[in-house]
Amino acid sequence: MGSIISFPSMYPDEDFRSILFRYQLRSPHVSYLKIRKELLGKAFTQMIIFPENLMSITTQLGVSKDFILNVIDNHSFYPFFRPFVNRDLHNDFTHKFYFSEPSRGLSSITKDLEKQFLAEEIRYCSSCLLNDYEVYGEVYLHRTHQFSFLTVCPVHEIPLIHSCSICNVPFVSDNANLMLIEPKCPNGHDIIEDNKSEWLDTFKYEFLDDIQTLMEAKNLSLNYIFQKLMVNLGNRGYIHFKGGTIYKKNLIADVIDFYGREVLGELGLNINELLRANAITNLFVPDQMRKQIVFYILLMRFFSGSVTNFLKQDESYFFPLPFGLGPWVCNNRICPFFNQKVINKCKRKVHEWITGYFTCEHCGMTYYRKGFPSVEDESRYSIETMGSLFTHKAIIYFESGININQIAELLQNNRRIVRKYLKPYRMELQRHLMTMEQKNAHDEILQVKLEVAATTQKTKLELCKETVLEAIRILGEGASRPQIRRYNIHRYDWIMKHDRVWMECHLPARRKMSRMLNLETLDDEMYQLVSAVVPKIWENLPQKKITKKEILKELPSYVEGRLRQYSDYLPKTIQLMENSLETDDHYLVRNFPHVVDWFNKSRYKKLSLKLIQNNFKSYKKCSLSVIQWVEGQIDQINNS
């Protein structure tokens, strides 16, 4: 048993400072410093607002830890601040309450918290003083009366007082070692009950209810409040659709207009301080939310009418899908389905705003619309590509001898567009003709050289021919040209160079490859190549994100060039490539085991979202749903 023999009963809503003083009255010690050291293990000279080392009291009294929880929840101001501090800071406070103050600068944090809500003077209600003295035989300090925004008692609606109306002496000393014992001031003047009622603003009653709601919510966490605030901000248009920007100045302006500067001032909210650049930067930063508690409570009321409603509401944040769900119309006049809603897919690209791309499966035309219209206006669009149907018809008309102007009229377009889509075909045709001319000229030159060299190289020529015939005889009639060449590469190449005509007569036939691409079937051929590779990539996921570059690595080298040069002729292939890419969110979730492996090998002891974002920049750009998933994984890792 310790030196504490008994401890005073704690009254409803009693401030912890009052409990310490009433223990002091019952102690045999004269010095309040000795009393505080006996009770709390340290001779505090300053006023004790937040209790400390309560484990010492429970040990000496022989009571359970429920005593500590009772002091913290019902006789300190910490339950009000608790929902706005992060987990690490909460652990520091808890350690302070149970044992002693940790060396983490808590004193400066508690002072900041005190300044936000507690009045500078310790105050009483004269009616409460008389009632308490009559019921308990002594007076005590009410916790509720100490909130700075209250000027009158919410029960009796009379002004709160802090000094004698006769001698003007404060009721409580600076270090709270002297308080009222009875309804008399320190000089013995009676404190008379004030009969002049002073009306308390209904809003302040409601605001006090909000405070009590927060104080009673023992399991309320900072992360929960932050997530609900983000949902409400998003649903009310205060968050950019990409999720990275909060329109803080607009929000503050709306809050000021909603409450009025006078009301905000009475609640202790400094508007000028709130509008400072540093304060705006720290808004909605979870670790900094404790510095603007008044603002966040007002924000909950602004969104839901009260803190109780705010905590009860179950909202989810979603951004309306730009351009709707479809289907969308085809705007190609030569398409059989012109002006009909046959487009079922929309590819949306996010930049400073949103662009939607719409491709018709029947004609290949792709058009796009920019922005995020509140009302769908499908008549406003820009053409990305006219598509394969337009190009195919233009080529057919061109090959049949129709001039450009007539083609433009037939395709219901202008000659500039027709020239643009015929240009690749005409260039390919020209290259093909040039290649054929060069081949003919080369054959003529080669024939002359062979005739000149025939007399001097007849012996070697005959030897090489005999070798080729020997290879054909030994390998059999089914042998291919590459197999025959491997029989004697040197002599095969030499005879091919000096007597190609003879070689073509004796070698097995080969499939002639046209150097001119068939643009009509090119899309189907390329589509088959890509569709064969994509499933293999997704079955054996690479370490990197699946991008267009990763897919092209698995394809023949010429594919990339054709995709770039003939993109207008490959709508299906390009669409398949785009649909096969991996989203940022999917990759970040898939890559998380790599993050965990890095953390296990690092020097860090505790994993956090900020630590991940500092070392893996891609997690700074992920969506809110992925952030929530990552935080859930972090909690499991830290608690395991």
Give me the phi and psi of 28, to 5 degrees please.
-75, -15
Rounded to whole angstroms, the Cα distance separating 525 from 550 reads 20
pTM: 0.56
DSSP for 82-116, please give it: GGGS-HHHHHHHHHHHHT---TTTHHHHHHHHHHH
Rounded to whole angstroms, the Cα distance separating 579 from 575 reads 6
Q: What is the pLDDT of residues 220-248, one digit of tens each?
A: 988 889 888 888 888 888 887 666 678 88
The identity of residue 467, as a single letter, is T
Mean pLDDT, range 611-618, rounded to an integer: 86
Q: Look at 20 and 474; give whichever has higher pLDDT.
A: 20
Question: Which pLDDT band holds residue 307 (cuts at 50, 70, 90)?
Answer: very high
Q: What is the CA radius of gyration of the chain?
A: 42
Task: Specify the DSSP element, H or E, that contains 329.
Answer: strand 328-329
- What is the pLDDT at residue 456? 46
- What is the pLDDT at residue 559? 84
Rounded to whole angstroms, the Cα distance separating 608 from 54 reads 31
Pairing of strands 354-359, 366-370: antiparallel
Q: Look at 401 and 573; give whichever has higher pLDDT.
A: 573
Rounded to whole angstroms, the Cα distance separating 206 from 309 reads 12
Mean pLDDT, range 536-541, rounded to an integer: 84
Angle at 282 between CA 281 and CA 284, to 5 degrees: 110
- What is the pLDDT at residue 445? 54
Where b means 16+ CB within 10 Å and e means fewer, 516-529 reads: ebebeebbeebbee
Question: Which pLDDT band holds residue 56 (cuts at 50, 70, 90)?
Answer: confident
| CA 477 to chain centroid | 68
Which pairs with CB-CB distance under 8 Å and at least 24 residues apart come from 244-250? 244/621, 246/283, 246/284, 248/280, 248/283, 248/284, 249/275, 249/280
Task: Specify the DSSP element, H or E, that contains 126.
Answer: helix 126-136
Question: Which pLDDT band holds residue 516 (cuts at 50, 70, 90)?
Answer: low
Q: What is the pLDDT of residues 403-461, one digit of tens each?
A: 888 888 888 888 888 888 777 777 776 776 666 656 665 555 555 554 544 444 457 88
Nearest Cα to 334, choosing from 260, 421, 247, 254? 421
Residue with tokens 């004796």: 506
What number of CA atoms fall less than 13 Å from residue 285's CA on the CB side?
10
**pLDDT-wise least confident of 81-85, 369-373, 474-478:** 369-373
Model confidence at 1: pLDDT above 50? no
Measured CA distances, 321 to 184, 361, 373, 470 (Å): 69, 22, 11, 72
Rounded to whole angstroms, the Cα distance separating 80 from 220 reads 11
**pLDDT-wise least confident of 206-210, 229-233, 438-442, 593-597:** 438-442
Q: Look at 168 and 635; give whichever has higher pLDDT.
A: 168
Q: Give the range with max mean pLDDT: 10-14, 35-39, 449-453, 467-471.
A: 10-14
Q: Look at 599 and 108; give whichever has higher pLDDT.
A: 599
- What is the pLDDT at residue 507? 86
Q: Give the range with max mean pLDDT: 102-106, 250-254, 569-573.
A: 250-254
Nearest Cα to 311, choosing from 238, 204, 231? 231
Rounded to whole angstroms, the Cα distance separating 416 from 113 reads 71
Mean pLDDT, range 175-204, rounded to an integer: 87
Mean pLDDT, range 473-484, rounded to an integer: 81
Nearest Cα to 12, choosing from 98, 58, 64, 70? 70
- What is the pLDDT at residue 190? 92
The identity of residue 516, as a single letter, is M
The overall average pLDDT reported for the chain is: 83
Measured CA distances, 61 to 2, 4, 330, 395, 561 (Å): 7, 6, 83, 99, 84
Measured CA distances, 184 to 216, 222, 259, 638 (Å): 33, 43, 40, 55
Model confidence at 170: pLDDT above 80? yes
Mean pLDDT, range 38-61, rounded to an integer: 81
Model confidence at 608: pLDDT above 60? yes
Rounded to whole angstroms, the Cα distance separating 324 from 320 reads 8
Model confidence at 462: pLDDT above 80? yes
Q: What is the pLDDT of residues 357-368, one digit of tens each?
A: 888 888 888 888
Query: Which structure tokens are listed for 27?
Result: 């102690």
Task: Specify the DSSP element, H or E, that contains 350.
Answer: strand 346-350
Model confidence at 162: pLDDT above 60? yes
- What is the pLDDT at residue 514? 46
Model confidence at 138: pLDDT above 70? yes
Rounded to whole angstroms, the Cα distance separating 71 from 97 reads 9
Model confidence at 349: pLDDT above 60? yes
Rounded to whole angstroms, the Cα distance separating 385 from 84 reads 54
- Residue 515 burial (CB count, 10 A): 11
Where b means 16+ CB within 10 Å and e means fewer, 25-51 reads: eebeeeebeebbebbbbeebeeebbbb
Q: Look at 296 and 558; give whichever has higher pLDDT.
A: 296
**pLDDT-wise least confident of 53-62, 512-521, 621-630:** 512-521
